[in-house]
Amino acid sequence: QVQLVESGGGLVQPGGSLRLSCAASGFTFEMYDMSWYLQAPGKQRELVAAITSGGTTNYADSVKGRFTISRDNAKNTVYLQMNSLKPEDTAVYFCNAARVRLGRRINYWGQGTQVTVSS
């Protein structure tokens, strides 16, 4: 059974930091590209940061220099370190695992964790 379980969200003041974690199980974690997405109320889900199975990272322009994505294949976990948080970072953050196998894209999602940036 595939599971992606996010944790680490919460309420933080502007300028503060949070570290999100996503614990994966039920699939071969090291073979998957891992990503974090956010979804603000009334808006579409959008990519925040991604890390490939080989460790290459990319970020949305809005978070470059503030957020860092990393993965620990020994722990089947991907992280999102979020610094210098802004009110506009407020959203539900989702973990995603993806790969292409035999020409078919496989996609798994977590249930999301709420991040609220407010004074």
| Type of residue found at 110 | G
Pairing relationship of beta strands 113-117 and 10-12 according to DSSP bridges: parallel
Q: How far apart are CA 119 and CA 106, in angstroms?
A: 39
| Residues 48 and 33 sit within 8 Å (Cβ to Cβ) | no
Token pair 């891992």: residue: 34
Q: How many CB atoms lie within 10 A of CB 94?
A: 21
Q: What is the pLDDT along the chain (119 residues), one digit of tens a residue?
A: 999 999 999 999 999 999 999 999 999 999 999 999 999 989 999 999 999 999 999 999 999 999 999 999 999 999 999 999 999 999 999 999 999 989 999 999 999 999 999 99
Name beta bridge partners: 19. Answer: 81
pLDDT in tens, 50-84: 999 999 999 999 999 999 999 999 999 999 999 99
Which pLDDT does position 25 carry in this prediction?
Answer: 97
| Type of residue found at 38 | L
